[in-house]
Amino acid sequence: MSTYTKYERGSVWRKWDLQVATNHYTNYGGLQIDGASLDKIVNLTGLTPAQINSDHRNLSDVEYAKLFIEYLVHISPVNAVAIMNHNTGKGIHEIINYLQSKQDFSVKNNIYNDHIVFPGVEIGGCDRCHILIVFNPETTNTNKFIYNNDGIKVSEKSWDVFIEDFLSEVHISNQRFVNGAPSNSRDLGALDIISIADEWDFVPIFPHICNSDGWWRELQESNRKEIYNSKYFGIVDSKTIGNNQNLKRILDGLHTDWGVSFPEKKTVRE
């Protein structure tokens, strides 16, 4: 049976959410659904209504993966998500594996084929600037694999192990949380962290930029400009900029004082 062309419809508008929390997020609030939606999720996952309408702390990663994907595919209007728990990649591997187990690109109308989950993690630099790290889910980056003494690839790391390695690489303390709050990098600022994007095959996103721990709020202007002019700066969460017209001009690439001399340089606002 031949695989159909995934893009035979041409361009399709889809909803994305690049900052999604799971039950491994410190402030995760759980889920509350009822009626036909609840009945559908019960049938698809085998979980009880009480398990579904809970904080999901007592679910295994495999059970939660079923709930996460079936809710995403059958209830949520979103097609693409990036998982962004602070300082952990726990549970991501199971979620991606479950979605892949339901996908079959030889079946044209398989609803699971229209969805993707990006592995990721939210971290903070030593400058308090938070960054969403969106990894390539199909990466061939050497950091994702284990090699023997002869340099031959022997196995692939799970996403939680890979992300743990990354957190160590950017100098997040081994004590990932202190008094319930995520630890920031010991000595690497936001610019240092995004500068290894190619090395670790990720795209950085700057969330809540005008709020606490945001790029615009926390950094001095010289640091902001350095990051803005980095080739890795390109996506920001602009929900918090309000009526700041100066910042809007900067993000649209129209403020030449920020080192932008051509209109093609624009940020993508999540």
Total length of the chain: 270
CA distance 116 to 235: 19
List the domain boundaries for the chain: 14-118, 122-270
Contacts for 48 with CB less than 8 Å, ≥ 6 apart: 42
Q: Tell whether the model's pLDDT for residue 263 goes beyond 50.
A: no
pTM of model > 0.85: yes
Q: Average pLDDT in the 165-180 region?
A: 95
Q: Tell whether the model's pLDDT for residue 3 goes beyond 60.
A: no
CA distance 128 to 218: 7
Quick one: pLDDT at residue 13?
Answer: 82
pLDDT band at 8 (very low <50, low <70, confident <90, very high): low
What is the torsion angle, in degrees rounded to the nearest 10, for the CA atoms of residue 215, residue 218, residue 220 and residue 225?
Answer: 0
